[in-house]
Amino acid sequence: MAYNLEEISNRFQLEGTVATVQPLGEGFINDTFIIRLKEPAAPRYILQRKNKNIFTDIPAMMQNIKMVTDHLKMKIERRGGDPLRESLTIIPAKDGKLYYKTDDGEYWAVCLFIDDTIAYNGADTPELAYQGGKGIGQFQSMLADFQGKLADILPGFHNIRFRFDQWDEAVKNNAAGRVAGLQEEIAWIESRRSEMLKFWELVESGKIPTRVTHNDTKINNILFDKSGNVLCVIDLDTVLGSTCLNDFGDAIRSYTNTGAEDDRDLNKVSMSMDMFQGYTAGYLSQTASFLNDYEKEYLAFSAKYITYEQVLRFLMDYINGDTYYKIKYPEHNLVRTHAQYKLLCSMEEQFGAMQKVVEQELEKLKA
Protein backbone atom coordinates (compact mmCIF):
# COMPACT_ATOMS: atom_id res chain seq x y z
CA MET A 1 0.00 0.00 0.00
CA ALA A 2 1.30 3.45 -0.90
CA TYR A 3 1.01 5.92 1.94
CA ASN A 4 0.87 9.68 1.80
CA LEU A 5 3.77 10.16 4.21
CA GLU A 6 3.43 13.92 4.18
CA GLU A 7 -0.19 13.74 5.24
CA ILE A 8 0.64 11.22 7.97
CA SER A 9 3.48 13.47 9.21
CA ASN A 10 1.08 16.41 9.36
CA ARG A 11 -1.03 14.54 11.90
CA PHE A 12 1.74 15.13 14.47
CA GLN A 13 2.68 18.20 16.47
CA LEU A 14 5.58 19.34 14.28
CA GLU A 15 7.11 22.80 14.53
CA GLY A 16 6.47 23.83 10.92
CA THR A 17 5.46 22.60 7.47
CA VAL A 18 6.61 19.28 6.03
CA ALA A 19 9.03 19.56 3.09
CA THR A 20 10.16 15.95 2.52
CA VAL A 21 9.80 12.48 4.08
CA GLN A 22 12.52 9.99 3.11
CA PRO A 23 13.49 6.42 4.14
CA LEU A 24 16.29 6.03 6.73
CA GLY A 25 18.30 3.41 8.57
CA GLU A 26 18.81 -0.33 8.60
CA GLY A 27 16.24 -1.60 11.10
CA PHE A 28 14.72 -5.05 10.48
CA ILE A 29 11.41 -4.38 12.16
CA ASN A 30 9.84 -0.96 11.58
CA ASP A 31 9.71 1.27 8.49
CA THR A 32 11.71 4.39 9.33
CA PHE A 33 11.68 7.79 7.61
CA ILE A 34 13.18 11.20 8.23
CA ILE A 35 10.89 14.24 8.08
CA ARG A 36 12.42 17.56 6.99
CA LEU A 37 10.47 20.80 7.37
CA LYS A 38 10.45 23.86 5.14
CA GLU A 39 11.64 26.20 7.89
CA PRO A 40 15.46 25.97 7.87
CA ALA A 41 15.82 26.31 11.64
CA ALA A 42 13.12 23.74 12.48
CA PRO A 43 14.09 20.34 13.92
CA ARG A 44 13.99 17.16 11.88
CA TYR A 45 11.93 14.18 12.95
CA ILE A 46 11.81 10.40 12.70
CA LEU A 47 8.56 8.91 11.42
CA GLN A 48 8.04 5.19 11.92
CA ARG A 49 5.42 2.76 10.85
CA LYS A 50 5.52 0.41 13.81
CA ASN A 51 5.37 -3.27 12.98
CA LYS A 52 1.99 -4.45 14.14
CA ASN A 53 2.67 -8.11 13.33
CA ILE A 54 5.33 -8.07 16.02
CA PHE A 55 3.98 -5.47 18.43
CA THR A 56 0.38 -6.44 18.99
CA ASP A 57 -0.40 -3.56 21.39
CA ILE A 58 1.25 -0.46 19.95
CA PRO A 59 -0.62 2.04 22.16
CA ALA A 60 0.74 0.17 25.23
CA MET A 61 4.22 0.07 23.69
CA MET A 62 4.17 3.84 23.07
CA GLN A 63 2.97 4.42 26.64
CA ASN A 64 5.94 2.35 27.89
CA ILE A 65 8.33 4.45 25.80
CA LYS A 66 6.77 7.68 27.06
CA MET A 67 7.11 6.63 30.73
CA VAL A 68 10.68 5.48 30.26
CA THR A 69 11.82 8.57 28.33
CA ASP A 70 10.18 10.88 30.90
CA HIS A 71 12.17 9.11 33.61
CA LEU A 72 15.42 9.24 31.62
CA LYS A 73 14.94 12.95 30.88
CA MET A 74 14.48 13.70 34.57
CA LYS A 75 17.75 11.88 35.34
CA ILE A 76 19.62 13.52 32.45
CA GLU A 77 18.50 17.00 33.53
CA ARG A 78 19.63 16.31 37.08
CA ARG A 79 23.12 15.43 35.95
CA GLY A 80 23.28 18.56 33.79
CA GLY A 81 22.91 16.77 30.43
CA ASP A 82 20.79 17.65 27.40
CA PRO A 83 17.50 15.70 27.58
CA LEU A 84 16.69 16.44 23.93
CA ARG A 85 19.89 14.79 22.69
CA GLU A 86 20.59 12.17 25.31
CA SER A 87 17.13 10.63 25.28
CA LEU A 88 14.50 9.99 22.62
CA THR A 89 11.70 12.59 22.57
CA ILE A 90 8.27 11.34 21.53
CA ILE A 91 6.22 13.85 19.51
CA PRO A 92 2.49 13.29 20.06
CA ALA A 93 -0.16 13.47 17.36
CA LYS A 94 -2.33 16.58 17.14
CA ASP A 95 -5.07 14.78 19.07
CA GLY A 96 -2.65 14.16 21.95
CA LYS A 97 -2.21 10.42 21.30
CA LEU A 98 1.32 8.99 21.14
CA TYR A 99 0.59 7.50 17.70
CA TYR A 100 -1.58 8.00 14.65
CA LYS A 101 -3.58 5.13 13.18
CA THR A 102 -4.28 5.12 9.44
CA ASP A 103 -7.59 3.76 8.14
CA ASP A 104 -5.96 0.41 7.27
CA GLY A 105 -5.09 -0.16 10.94
CA GLU A 106 -1.36 0.70 10.70
CA TYR A 107 0.26 2.62 13.55
CA TRP A 108 2.66 5.53 13.05
CA ALA A 109 4.79 7.36 15.60
CA VAL A 110 7.15 10.33 15.54
CA CYS A 111 10.16 11.29 17.62
CA LEU A 112 12.81 13.99 17.34
CA PHE A 113 15.67 13.21 14.97
CA ILE A 114 18.94 13.57 16.87
CA ASP A 115 21.35 15.54 14.69
CA ASP A 116 25.09 15.17 14.24
CA THR A 117 25.22 11.54 15.31
CA ILE A 118 26.45 8.25 13.91
CA ALA A 119 24.64 4.88 14.04
CA TYR A 120 27.33 2.24 13.43
CA ASN A 121 26.64 -1.24 12.10
CA GLY A 122 29.77 -2.65 13.70
CA ALA A 123 32.44 -1.67 16.22
CA ASP A 124 36.04 -1.54 15.08
CA THR A 125 37.79 -0.03 18.08
CA PRO A 126 37.71 -1.10 21.74
CA GLU A 127 37.12 2.58 22.60
CA LEU A 128 33.85 2.58 20.67
CA ALA A 129 32.88 -0.70 22.34
CA TYR A 130 33.72 0.87 25.73
CA GLN A 131 31.42 3.81 24.94
CA GLY A 132 28.60 1.47 23.87
CA GLY A 133 28.93 -0.51 27.10
CA LYS A 134 28.95 2.68 29.11
CA GLY A 135 25.78 3.84 27.27
CA ILE A 136 23.79 0.69 28.03
CA GLY A 137 25.18 0.60 31.58
CA GLN A 138 24.03 4.19 32.16
CA PHE A 139 20.67 3.42 30.61
CA GLN A 140 20.11 0.51 33.01
CA SER A 141 21.44 2.47 35.93
CA MET A 142 19.18 5.50 35.26
CA LEU A 143 16.20 3.15 35.11
CA ALA A 144 17.11 1.20 38.24
CA ASP A 145 14.70 3.28 40.37
CA PHE A 146 11.93 3.47 37.75
CA GLN A 147 8.68 2.95 39.65
CA GLY A 148 6.14 2.87 36.78
CA LYS A 149 4.50 -0.32 35.58
CA LEU A 150 5.56 -1.33 32.09
CA ALA A 151 3.15 -3.36 29.98
CA ASP A 152 4.68 -6.70 28.93
CA ILE A 153 4.22 -5.99 25.25
CA LEU A 154 6.43 -8.88 24.06
CA PRO A 155 5.84 -11.79 26.46
CA GLY A 156 8.76 -14.21 26.53
CA PHE A 157 10.96 -12.08 24.27
CA HIS A 158 14.31 -13.37 25.60
CA ASN A 159 12.86 -16.34 27.48
CA ILE A 160 14.38 -19.44 25.95
CA ARG A 161 11.68 -21.70 27.38
CA PHE A 162 9.11 -19.67 25.45
CA ARG A 163 11.35 -19.69 22.35
CA PHE A 164 11.60 -23.50 22.53
CA ASP A 165 7.79 -23.71 22.57
CA GLN A 166 7.72 -21.58 19.39
CA TRP A 167 10.59 -23.60 17.94
CA ASP A 168 8.94 -27.00 18.56
CA GLU A 169 5.78 -25.72 16.88
CA ALA A 170 7.75 -24.36 13.92
CA VAL A 171 9.68 -27.59 13.33
CA LYS A 172 6.50 -29.65 13.66
CA ASN A 173 4.48 -27.42 11.30
CA ASN A 174 7.29 -27.12 8.74
CA ALA A 175 5.34 -24.29 7.10
CA ALA A 176 7.82 -23.62 4.28
CA GLY A 177 8.73 -27.28 3.73
CA ARG A 178 12.38 -26.56 4.61
CA VAL A 179 12.90 -28.82 7.65
CA ALA A 180 14.25 -31.85 5.77
CA GLY A 181 17.13 -29.83 4.39
CA LEU A 182 18.07 -28.34 7.76
CA GLN A 183 19.04 -31.35 9.86
CA GLU A 184 22.54 -30.08 10.61
CA GLU A 185 21.30 -26.65 11.69
CA ILE A 186 18.49 -28.14 13.80
CA ALA A 187 21.09 -30.27 15.59
CA TRP A 188 23.00 -27.08 16.53
CA ILE A 189 19.91 -25.96 18.43
CA GLU A 190 19.06 -29.30 20.01
CA SER A 191 22.57 -30.06 21.29
CA ARG A 192 22.54 -26.91 23.47
CA ARG A 193 18.91 -26.97 24.61
CA SER A 194 19.50 -28.20 28.17
CA GLU A 195 22.48 -25.88 28.79
CA MET A 196 20.36 -22.86 27.86
CA LEU A 197 17.36 -23.96 29.91
CA LYS A 198 19.59 -24.48 32.92
CA PHE A 199 20.72 -20.86 32.72
CA TRP A 200 17.14 -19.63 32.31
CA GLU A 201 16.14 -21.47 35.51
CA LEU A 202 18.27 -18.94 37.41
CA VAL A 203 16.02 -16.20 36.05
CA GLU A 204 12.88 -18.18 36.79
CA SER A 205 13.99 -18.74 40.39
CA GLY A 206 14.72 -15.02 40.84
CA LYS A 207 18.44 -15.57 41.51
CA ILE A 208 19.03 -13.45 38.43
CA PRO A 209 16.62 -10.52 38.93
CA THR A 210 14.29 -8.83 36.49
CA ARG A 211 15.01 -5.13 35.94
CA VAL A 212 14.00 -2.48 33.39
CA THR A 213 16.13 -3.24 30.35
CA HIS A 214 16.33 -2.38 26.65
CA ASN A 215 16.33 -5.87 25.10
CA ASP A 216 17.60 -4.91 21.65
CA THR A 217 21.08 -3.52 22.28
CA LYS A 218 22.74 -4.11 18.92
CA ILE A 219 25.10 -1.33 17.99
CA ASN A 220 22.83 0.53 15.57
CA ASN A 221 20.32 1.05 18.37
CA ILE A 222 22.63 3.53 20.06
CA LEU A 223 23.73 6.89 18.67
CA PHE A 224 27.30 8.15 19.08
CA ASP A 225 28.45 11.73 18.66
CA LYS A 226 31.04 12.65 16.06
CA SER A 227 33.89 12.35 18.59
CA GLY A 228 32.93 8.74 19.28
CA ASN A 229 31.24 9.35 22.64
CA VAL A 230 28.00 7.57 23.38
CA LEU A 231 25.05 9.92 23.19
CA CYS A 232 21.63 8.27 23.16
CA VAL A 233 20.04 4.83 23.34
CA ILE A 234 17.29 4.56 20.68
CA ASP A 235 14.80 1.94 19.41
CA LEU A 236 12.97 1.73 22.73
CA ASP A 237 10.15 -0.47 21.40
CA THR A 238 11.42 -3.45 23.39
CA VAL A 239 11.97 -1.77 26.78
CA LEU A 240 10.60 -4.33 29.23
CA GLY A 241 11.16 -6.00 32.54
CA SER A 242 13.88 -8.54 31.74
CA THR A 243 17.42 -9.30 32.87
CA CYS A 244 20.40 -6.99 32.47
CA LEU A 245 22.26 -9.97 31.09
CA ASN A 246 20.09 -9.98 27.97
CA ASP A 247 21.20 -6.43 27.17
CA PHE A 248 24.83 -7.26 27.81
CA GLY A 249 24.72 -10.50 25.81
CA ASP A 250 22.93 -8.96 22.83
CA ALA A 251 25.42 -6.11 22.71
CA ILE A 252 28.38 -8.51 22.81
CA ARG A 253 26.79 -10.45 19.94
CA SER A 254 26.80 -7.23 17.95
CA TYR A 255 29.93 -5.30 19.02
CA THR A 256 32.40 -8.17 19.04
CA ASN A 257 31.55 -9.69 15.66
CA THR A 258 34.52 -9.23 13.29
CA GLY A 259 32.16 -9.85 10.36
CA ALA A 260 28.60 -8.84 9.54
CA GLU A 261 25.52 -10.32 11.17
CA ASP A 262 24.68 -11.80 7.79
CA ASP A 263 28.18 -12.41 6.44
CA ARG A 264 28.33 -15.00 3.69
CA ASP A 265 32.07 -15.29 4.25
CA LEU A 266 32.28 -17.23 7.50
CA ASN A 267 36.05 -16.74 7.64
CA LYS A 268 35.34 -13.12 8.49
CA VAL A 269 33.11 -13.98 11.45
CA SER A 270 34.58 -14.42 14.93
CA MET A 271 34.38 -12.90 18.38
CA SER A 272 36.96 -10.20 19.03
CA MET A 273 38.38 -10.37 22.56
CA ASP A 274 39.48 -6.72 22.29
CA MET A 275 35.93 -5.57 21.67
CA PHE A 276 34.71 -7.87 24.43
CA GLN A 277 37.16 -6.33 26.86
CA GLY A 278 36.23 -2.78 25.80
CA TYR A 279 32.49 -3.30 26.05
CA THR A 280 32.73 -5.15 29.37
CA ALA A 281 34.89 -2.42 30.93
CA GLY A 282 32.44 0.31 29.81
CA TYR A 283 29.39 -1.64 30.94
CA LEU A 284 30.76 -2.58 34.37
CA SER A 285 31.97 0.99 35.01
CA GLN A 286 28.25 1.90 35.32
CA THR A 287 26.70 -1.29 36.70
CA ALA A 288 29.16 -3.15 38.95
CA SER A 289 27.74 -1.31 41.97
CA PHE A 290 24.25 -2.77 41.59
CA LEU A 291 24.62 -6.13 39.80
CA ASN A 292 24.35 -9.14 42.12
CA ASP A 293 26.82 -12.03 42.25
CA TYR A 294 24.79 -14.23 39.91
CA GLU A 295 24.55 -11.48 37.32
CA LYS A 296 28.31 -10.97 37.47
CA GLU A 297 29.01 -14.68 37.29
CA TYR A 298 26.82 -15.19 34.21
CA LEU A 299 27.80 -12.05 32.30
CA ALA A 300 30.09 -13.89 29.88
CA PHE A 301 27.59 -16.74 29.51
CA SER A 302 24.86 -14.27 28.50
CA ALA A 303 26.74 -13.56 25.27
CA LYS A 304 26.49 -17.24 24.33
CA TYR A 305 22.86 -17.33 25.45
CA ILE A 306 21.70 -14.43 23.30
CA THR A 307 23.78 -15.47 20.30
CA TYR A 308 22.30 -18.96 20.55
CA GLU A 309 18.82 -17.44 20.84
CA GLN A 310 19.53 -15.39 17.71
CA VAL A 311 20.62 -18.52 15.79
CA LEU A 312 17.35 -20.11 16.87
CA ARG A 313 15.26 -17.04 15.93
CA PHE A 314 16.79 -16.64 12.46
CA LEU A 315 16.53 -20.37 11.74
CA MET A 316 12.97 -20.51 13.05
CA ASP A 317 12.02 -17.61 10.79
CA TYR A 318 13.56 -19.44 7.85
CA ILE A 319 11.60 -22.58 8.78
CA ASN A 320 8.41 -20.50 9.09
CA GLY A 321 8.89 -19.02 5.61
CA ASP A 322 10.40 -15.62 6.60
CA THR A 323 7.45 -14.07 8.37
CA TYR A 324 9.30 -12.04 11.06
CA TYR A 325 12.53 -10.38 9.91
CA LYS A 326 12.80 -8.21 6.83
CA ILE A 327 14.88 -10.14 4.28
CA LYS A 328 16.80 -8.89 1.23
CA TYR A 329 16.96 -12.24 -0.64
CA PRO A 330 15.31 -15.68 -0.21
CA GLU A 331 18.13 -17.39 1.75
CA HIS A 332 18.84 -14.37 3.94
CA ASN A 333 17.63 -15.89 7.22
CA LEU A 334 19.67 -19.04 6.57
CA VAL A 335 22.79 -16.98 5.86
CA ARG A 336 22.16 -15.08 9.10
CA THR A 337 21.76 -18.39 10.94
CA HIS A 338 25.13 -19.67 9.71
CA ALA A 339 26.93 -16.42 10.48
CA GLN A 340 25.51 -16.23 13.99
CA TYR A 341 26.33 -19.89 14.59
CA LYS A 342 29.93 -19.25 13.59
CA LEU A 343 30.00 -16.40 16.10
CA LEU A 344 28.55 -18.66 18.79
CA CYS A 345 31.28 -21.27 18.14
CA SER A 346 33.92 -18.57 18.40
CA MET A 347 32.50 -17.50 21.77
CA GLU A 348 32.45 -21.10 22.95
CA GLU A 349 36.12 -21.46 22.01
CA GLN A 350 37.08 -18.29 23.88
CA PHE A 351 34.73 -18.67 26.82
CA GLY A 352 37.46 -19.17 29.44
CA ALA A 353 39.17 -15.96 28.35
CA MET A 354 35.85 -14.08 28.37
CA GLN A 355 35.21 -15.09 31.96
CA LYS A 356 38.69 -13.99 32.92
CA VAL A 357 38.12 -10.55 31.38
CA VAL A 358 34.94 -10.09 33.44
CA GLU A 359 36.81 -11.07 36.63
CA GLN A 360 39.69 -8.73 35.82
CA GLU A 361 37.43 -5.77 35.06
CA LEU A 362 35.55 -6.34 38.32
CA GLU A 363 38.86 -6.47 40.21
CA LYS A 364 40.01 -3.20 38.60
CA LEU A 365 36.83 -1.47 39.78
CA LYS A 366 37.37 -2.69 43.35
CA ALA A 367 40.90 -1.27 43.44
- Positions that interact with ligand ADP (CB under 6 A): 24-30, 32, 46, 88, 111, 113-114, 117, 119, 220-221, 223, 234-235, 237
Selection from ligand GN1, ligand ADP, Mg ion, none that 111 binds (CB < 5 to 8 A by kind) is ligand ADP
Selection from 1, 32, 34, 30 nearest residue 19 by Cα: 34
Selection from Mg ion, ligand ADP, ligand GN1, none that 164 binds (CB < 5 to 8 A by kind) is none
- Residue 185 phi/psi, 5-degree rounding, is -65, -40
As a whole number of angstroms, the distance between CA 51 and CA 360 comes to 42
- Of 18, 27, 146, 295, the one binding Mg ion (CB under 5 A) is 27
Applying CB under 6 A, the span of 25-33, 63-71, 204-212, 284-292 interacting with ligand GN1 comes to 25-33
Least distance (Å) between residue 93 CB and ligand GN1? 23
Q: Judged by CB, which is closer to Mg ion: 53, or 194?
A: 53
Selection from ligand GN1, ligand ADP, Mg ion, none that 310 binds (CB < 5 to 8 A by kind) is ligand GN1
Q: Judged by CB, which is closer to ligand ADP: 91, or 357?
A: 91
Radius of gyration for the alpha carbons in the chain, expressed in angstroms and rounded: 20
Question: Binding residues for Mg ion, how many (CB under 5 A)?
Answer: 3
What are the distances in angstroms from CA 18 to CA 5, 45, 107, 141, 349? 10, 10, 19, 37, 53
Selection from ligand GN1, ligand ADP, Mg ion, none that 271 binds (CB < 5 to 8 A by kind) is none
Q: Judged by CB, which is closer to ligand GN1: 34, or 42?
A: 34
The answer to whether 120 contacts ligand GN1 (rule: CB under 6 A) is no
Q: Judged by CB, which is closer to ligand GN1: 28, or 290?
A: 28
Residues that bind ligand GN1 (CB under 6 A): 27-29, 54, 216, 218, 221, 235, 238, 261, 310
